Amino acid sequence: MTEQELKHLLQSMSLEEKVGQMVQVTGAFLEEDAVITGPAADAGLELSDCKLAGSILGIAGAKRLRKIQERYMEEHPHHIPLLMMADVIHGYRTVFPIPLALGASFHPELVEKAMTMAAAEAASAGLHVTFSPMTDLVRDPRWGRVLESFGESPWLDARMAEAYVRGYQGPDNDLSRPGRLSACDKHFVGYGAPVAGREYNHAELSEHTLREFHLPAKIAAIRAGTACVMPAFQSLNGVPCTASEKIVRNLLRDELGFEGVTISDWSAVGELVAQGAAENTREAAKLAIEAGIDIDMMSVCYARELKGLVESGEVEERLVDEAVWRILTLKNRLGLFEDPFHGAGVQEEKRTVLCEKHRDLARSLVAESVILLKNEDAVLPLDSGSRTAFIGPYVDSTDTCGSWAIFQNREDTVTLRRGVTEGGYGANAVFCHGCDVLENTRVLGFGVEEVFGQSENRDEWIREALQAAKEADRVVMALGEHTLQSGEAASRGDITIPHQQMELLRQISAVNPNVVTVVYSGRPLDLREVSACSKAVLAVFLPGTMGGAGIADVLFGRTSPGGRVSISFPWSVAQVPVYHDDYTTGRPYDPAGAEQKFVSRYLDMPNEPLYSFGYGLTYGIFRYSPVRLSAGSMGQGQILTASVTVKNEGSMAAKETVQLYLRDEKGTTVRPRRELKGVKCLYLQPGEEGEAVFEITEDLLKIWDKHMNFLAEPGWFTIYVGGDSRTENSARFRYEG
């Protein structure tokens, strides 16, 4: 449709129709046999509220969505197509490792490829918009949604945000092409910093912290062209984001220049009443539209109140028109007026979903993202000639995709046992269940409470596991959190592996010292005891559809583990938040120095996490040359290069994740000890050398100064280049300004 035609369409719509465009309900409401139950009924929505809704969420499938679209368009007064939205967070049916693991790959180019595939699958199944990426910076592993984040570094977070948006929308941002999805960057802003890590709690971020740490990834997503943004549920510095003109209208739109569609989070407009920000749904609707929320997801506020608010003059119709214009523009960009199905179809879906290419990339992304945290006596890689006992509840589990993989089929998941046997590694392997993931616990799932009892086979499982461990040369323990223990509404205060699994690990390690523990989790766990009981520890997060295959490849040395810690694994939850780019203090603690009292430290635990940012072992042995700088100083607009030569002196091919950190030695605001500012992944054969070259631009040096200007301040900088955030391989230069 031309812009002129779109304008005519808007002008010809009734107020009721326009308000309809601003309402989003679950897809099930628009099906022929729709009945309203569950959370929707709780929200008070009725079928009459949904008739003209301009978008739906949460369901997929080409056949199902085509039927809904056809029926809806036929009945709609102007035959305007619906927008189909859903959470496709790390893959549609081919589920890639969770975003936290993708962050650990430190490899945005591969992540972009994965999201291109996710978009192709989801679009073939009828979806137009995905509520992704989640670019909330997280430094508190108690918060369950850490699984959806890329980790603790604003720089890495920003690169992943761009990769996600480019993957979904294509490098040219042409949404009309088949296989493209519109991205929706979320949650704007501060949702990743709930006080005390408790879900939905408010966030307190100073202007400086917000801009320095939390906004860079949001800005990256906007610059990459994200078509939608979802303002956050929670309050930031006392005001719910959904009702904040300062956050949505002033910051997001006016300052950052976002011109696309804003969508509230699930029932967030209605929740303004519970938050004490609005007296009733009418006031909530008024606050939200004034703040700049275009679409109200799953609350009655816009559907019931907006028309009356405009008719009474309390809300200017101009605000409605502006919002509807943005929504219609998105529909038009997607080409829905020409093809309301956007290329979706049963044949296309069959051809695309779970195809070999997608499964292959998912498998290699597992190897790229698992982190080898410990490998004493080179117990890994395993030799398939020796006897290996695989023990634990994750040996046969298909529940390894995470709670946001809502379109997965569990049967598609390759378990660890299947990965080992189908990979050809299983000649001398035995497999035991050992124990359940959870025991004597209740966990709230999606609308249902899951009760985990104590199996009557428990003692038998343990006996069998101990026997297998005694007879084996090596034991692989497959342990971890339950998938319901991470994700939305899954904050934990105790971030350890459930107790009966730990008990099993203690018993097994007492009969066989050669234990390799594979840890499944949606967050960095407290692994102190796991590490003490194991010779090797491999963190695999929730590895997705091809998890078992990719993990087996790493365990048996077909591929070297490629992941690096993208969020610190704390020594204890009491250190949280603990991260690599904390500010310098006037009384720094030097653990290598003599005992010091009046310094910034704990009396009863280390300052440093158990596994710090950027850390991760491989099967290679890498030697770094000193850092070479192209010059000792740089002036305005100039670019320096920093380079290193890296040699694989080991006997196996491996990926080395070369990281560049920057330290601004003096600033008008205190500066982080060091900050990640660059990554190059080198894949080196034994004996091979590679070069990593980084460009240092003025932009990389910019900080928020004491007057809240974003600029590079003249002075000395140290560049560190190495294999993790603690490297001392460094060089200095001066920025002259």
Alpha helices by DSSP H, listed for 298-425, are 301-311, 317-333, 346-352, 356-369, 416-422
Give the residue numbers annotated as catalytic, written as ranges. 265
Neighbour-count burial of 507, counting CB atoms closer than 10 A to its CB (0-12 exposed, 13-18 middle, 19+ buried): middle
By CB under 6 A, name the one of 186, 282, 342, 482 that touches ligand BGC.
186
- How many angstroms separate the CA atoms of 466 and 469, rounded? 5
Which parts of 124-221 are beta strand (E)?
A: 129-130, 184-188
Q: Is 712 exposed, middle or buried (0-12, 13-18, 19+ CB in 10 A)?
A: buried
Residues 540-579 interacting with ligand BGC (rule: CB under 6 A): none
Which residue, 266 or 615, has its beta carbon nearer to ligand BGC?
A: 266
Q: Around Cβ 274, how many Cβ atoms within 10 Å?
A: 11
Rounded Cα gap, residues 674 and 24, in angstroms: 44
Nearest 5°: the CA angle 348, 349, 354 is 120
Q: In whole angstroms, give the CA distance from residue 232 to residue 218.
A: 12
Binding ligand BGC (rule: CB under 6 A), the pick from 40, 43, 45, 87 is 87
**Do 141 and 579 meet the contact criterion of CB atoms below 8 Å apart?**
no
> From the CB of 201, what's the least distance to ligand BGC, in Å?
14
Nearer to ligand BGC, 87 or 157 (CB): 87
In this complex, which beta carbon is closest to ligand BGC, that of residue 25 or of residue 327?
25
Q: Does 92 bind ligand BGC (CB under 6 A)?
A: no
Nearest approach, Cβ of residue 87 and ligand BGC (Å): 5
* Shorter beta-carbon distance to ligand BGC: residue 273 or 670: 273
The only residue of 29, 96, 131, 258 in contact with ligand BGC, by rule CB under 6 A: 131
Q: Which is nearer to ligand BGC, 446 or 716 (CB)?
A: 446
**In contact, 242 and 273? CB cutoff 8 Å:** no
- Residue nearest to ligand BGC according to CB distances in the complex: 131
Could you tell me if 700 and 675 are in contact, meaning their C-beta atoms sit under 8 angstroms apart?
no
Task: Return the H-helix or E-strand segment holding 6.
Answer: helix 3-12
Separation between Cα atoms, residue 212 and residue 208, nearest integer Å = 6
Task: Please give the structure tokens belonging to residue 720.
Answer: 């560190």
Please state the closest distance from residue 731 (CB atom) to ligand BGC, in A: 42
Q: Which of 46, 488, 608, 705 binds ligand BGC (CB under 6 A)?
A: 488
298 versus 497: smaller Cβ distance to ligand BGC = 298
Say which residue the tokens 């590079």 belong to: 712
Residue from 106, 155, 266, 694 binding ligand BGC (CB under 6 A)? 266
Minimum distance, C-beta of residue 298 to ligand BGC, in the bound complex (Å): 8
Site residues (CB under 6 A) for ligand BGC, limited to 20-59: 57
- If binding is defined by CB under 6 A, does position 265 make contact with ligand BGC? yes
Q: Which is nearer to ligand BGC, 384 or 491 (CB)?
A: 491
Q: Does 136 bind ligand BGC (CB under 6 A)?
A: no
CA-nearest of 49, 55, 44, 69 to 131 is: 55
- Other beta carbons within 10 angstroms of residue 478's beta carbon come to 29
**CA–CA separation, 583 and 281 (whole Å):** 43
Residue 295 C-beta: closest distance to ligand BGC, Å = 12
- Give whichever of 190 and 381 is closer to ligand BGC, judged by the CB atom: 190
Q: Are 203 and 191 in contact (CB under 8 A)?
A: yes
Q: Give the count of residues interacting with ligand BGC (CB under 6 A).
A: 7
Site for ligand BGC in 709-728 (CB under 6 A): none
Residues near ligand BGC (CB under 6 A): 57, 87, 131, 186, 265-266, 488
